[in-house]
Amino acid sequence: MTEYDNIPEIAMRWHRVGKQVALATVIETWGSSPRPVGAQLVIGSDGEFQGSVSGGCVEGAVVLEAQEALLDGHVRLLTYGITDEDAFSVGLACGGTIRIMVEPIGIGQGMDISLLSELVTARATRLPVVLSVNIETWQRHLNSAFDGALSIGVRARLDSDKSGFEGEWFVAVHNPPLKMIIIGAVHIAQPLMMMARLCGYAPQLVDPRGAFASKLRFPREQIVEEWPDEALPNLELDARTAVITLTHDPKIDDAALLVALRSPVFYVGSLGSRKTHAKRVARLAEAGLSATQIARIHAPIGLDTGSKTPAEIAISIMAEVTLRLRRPSARD
C-alpha cells in the first residue's frame, strides 16, 4: 500500500502508541478536485499528518481544524474553494470546491476505536466493506459486501468503487486492492502487465516454463514458475481478482481454470478461438466442472474490437475486465 491507501492503518498504529488522532475525509467535490471523494488524511494531536485531501491546497487548514476537534470532540464539516492558481499547482486546469469531514477518533462525536479496529481488520483480510456515517446524528455502521441487507445504491457504490452520499449517509467504500493473475508469460502478457498496473491492479505472472518466464523477456517482473494448480491456491483468489489464461497449452490453462472457476474471482478469461474454446469446455466438463462454472469463462477473451497486435489484444482484455468489474450485470 502507498501512503494514500493505508490511512486507517496509520490511524490505528498511532492510536496504539498513545497518540490522539483525527481522520479527514473528502465527502463531496464540485468542479476539478485533486483528490477523489473518499480520500483521507490522518492527523495527530502533535500536528503530524499523512495522506492527502487536496494535493496540498488546504491540508494546513484541515490540520488546524483536526487539532481543535481533538480538543472538543466535535466533527467538522468543512467546505473549501480551490482557486485556479492553487488548482494549477497540483496539476488541474481550473479550480473547484471540496467538502471535508474531520472526525476525532475515540472522542465525542467521532468514530469509536472499536469501529476503526474492525475496519482495519476487514481491510487486512481483503473483505470488501462500506463504512457509513450519518452526518446529522453521527451514527456509524460497518457492513460487508456480503450483507444481504445492503441497499441497491450502496451495492452499486461497492461495485463501482465510488464513495459518496446515500441520503443523509456518507458511504465510504473500502474495497481490497485489485489483483490480476496472468497465466502464461507470452507476448500479450508484456503490455497487459503494464496496462493492469496503470488501471490499479497488482498483476502477478505465472508460468512453469522457464524459457518463457525469463528475466530477459520480463525484466521487471517476479514470475511464479509453478504450475497454476500449485500457484493459484497461494495467491488469494477473491472477488477483487481477475484470472487470465494466455498459454494456448491445455495442460497449463486447464489447470488454472479448474482452480479459478471454483473460486469467487470476478473475471476469468481465456485466449483462443471459438473452436478452441469448444474443446476446452468439453475437457473441463469431463474434469468435473458444472455448466454454470464453465459459463463463467470469457472466451474468446476480450471485447470484440478487431484487435490484431499484442498491445491491441491487451487493450481488449483490459476493457472487458473493466466492464465486468464496474458493471457486473452488463452484457458484451
CATH classification at residue 296: 3.40.50.720
Claim to verify: residue 289 and residue 308 sit in the same structural domain: yes
Claim to verify: residue 211 and residue 234 sit in the same structural domain: yes
Claim to verify: residue 322 and residue 218 sit in the same structural domain: yes
Of 174, 202, 230, the one marking the end of a domain is: 174
8-state DSSP, 166: E
Claim to verify: residue 89 and residue 182 sit in the same structural domain: no
Of 139, 174, 209, the one marking the end of a domain is: 174
The predicted model gives 279-286 an average pLDDT of 97
Of 174, 191, 207, the one marking the end of a domain is: 174
pLDDT of residue 145: 87
Q: How many domains does the chain have?
A: 2
Residue 90 has pLDDT above 80, yes or no: no
Claim to verify: residue 160 and residue 182 sit in the same structural domain: no
Residue 30's domain comprises 7-174
pLDDT of residue 123: 94
Q: Which residues of 211-221 are buried (b: 16+ CB within 10 A; e: fewer)?
A: ebbeeeebeeb
Residue 25 has pLDDT above 90, yes or no: yes
- Is there a contact between 207 and 214 (Cβ–Cβ < 8 Å)? no
Q: Is 35 or 255 the better-scoring residue by pLDDT? A: 255
295 within a domain of the structure (yes/no): yes
Please, which pLDDT band fits residue 91 given cuts at 50, 70 and 90? very low
Q: Tell me which residue of 25, 57, 24, 58 sits closest to 43, measured CA to CA.
A: 24
Claim to verify: residue 251 and residue 295 sit in the same structural domain: yes
Claim to verify: residue 15 and residue 157 sit in the same structural domain: yes
Question: What's the rounded Cα separation, in Å, for the pair 244 and 206?
Answer: 10
> What are the strands of the beta sheet with 21-31, ordered from one edge?
49-51, 40-44, 21-31, 96-104, 76-82
Name the strand (E) or helix (H) holding 254.
Answer: helix 250-260
Cis bond leading into 191, ω under 30°?
Answer: no
Burial of 132 (0-12, 13-18, 19+ CB in 10 A): middle
1 within a domain of the structure (yes/no): no
pTM, full prediction: 0.75
Q: Which residues have CB under 8 Å from 92's CB, separation 6+? A: 32, 33, 34, 82
8-state DSSP, 55: T
Claim to verify: residue 103 and residue 138 sit in the same structural domain: yes
Residue 93 has pLDDT above 50, yes or no: no
331 within a domain of the structure (yes/no): no
**Distances from the Cα of 136 to the Cα of 140, 167, 170, angstroms:** 11, 11, 10
2 within a domain of the structure (yes/no): no
Count of alpha carbons within 13 angstroms of residue 155, beta-carbon side:
11
Claim to verify: residue 63 and residue 45 sit in the same structural domain: yes
Claim to verify: residue 43 and residue 61 sit in the same structural domain: yes
Residue 278 has pLDDT above 70, yes or no: yes
Q: Tell me which residue of 264, 4, 23 sits closest to 128, measured CA to CA.
A: 264
Question: What's the rounded Cα separation, in Å, for the pair 120 and 308?
Answer: 44
- Mode of pairing for the β-strands spanning 297-298 and 267-270: parallel
pLDDT of residue 209: 93
Claim to verify: residue 163 and residue 200 sit in the same structural domain: no
pLDDT of residue 81: 79
Claim to verify: residue 128 and residue 29 sit in the same structural domain: yes
